[in-house]
Amino acid sequence: MKIRKLHEKDAEKYFYIRLESLKNNPEAFATSFDEEQHQPIELYVNRLKSDTSITLGAFHNEQLIGIITIVKSIKQKLMHRAEIVSTYVTPGSRGNQTGKKLVTQALDEIRNIPGVEQVYLTVESNNIAAKKLYESVGFELFGTDRKAMKYEGQYFDIDHMVLYLN
């Protein structure tokens, strides 16, 4: 397995794994499959070119099997913070440390961003595997947003986690 930063040429692969994530785990993302499926590929090209985010991909035999995105804050008072968003590993690649390797690589990237002292993320409260993964690298729970999302008549709670780098 190889982990690397995704570039413009990866936009189509990124688009398909993004749709897969929204279809397989709708409770884990604020965006829905229906909202995202008709977006133009240029949207993903621009996301991957952005100066305010970094998306890493895990590849096995040239197939994209996992993604994680880091968003750097651009507001002056929040520039000491970064956020991990859109973490996903394909079902067939789970259980082999792909997620942990993605998170660890993302944290290495974040540590190279000047001035970043804190890393935030949100995770669906019932996603025990993801929460254990994040806790294993030092994230701490600091709050729960009850009924944060509603999908097909069902509410989902979201846990907020933070990792202090200093």
Decide if pLDDT at 45 tops 90. yes
Decide if pLDDT at 166 tops 90. no
User: What sign results for the dihedral spanned by CA atoms 43, 49, 53, 54?
Assistant: positive
For the chain, percent of residues with pLDDT exceeding 90 = 93
Average pLDDT over residues 116-143: 96
**pLDDT confidence tier of residue 59, bands split at 50, 70 and 90:** very high
The packing angle between helices 128-136 and 98-111, to 10°, is 40
Give the model's pLDDT for residue 95: 85
Cα 137 vs. chain centroid, distance in angstroms?
15
Give the model's pLDDT for residue 57: 98
pTM: 0.93
Domain extents for the chain? 2-164
Q: Output the CA angle 136-47-132, nearest 5 degrees.
A: 10
- The kind and range of the H/E element at 156 are strand 154-164
Q: From the CB of residue 5, how many other CB atoms can be counted at a distance below 10 Å? A: 12
Average pLDDT over residues 130-136: 96
Decide if pLDDT at 22 tops 90. yes
Backbone angles phi, psi at 145, to 5 degrees: -100, 100
SS3 label, residue 58: strand
Q: What is the CA radius of gyration of the chain?
A: 15
Q: What is the CATH number of domain 2-164?
A: 3.40.630.30
Give the model's pLDDT for residue 23: 94
* Residue in this structure with the two tokens 């600091």, named with its chain if needed: 142
62-88 confidence digits (pLDDT tens): 999 999 999 999 999 999 999 999 999
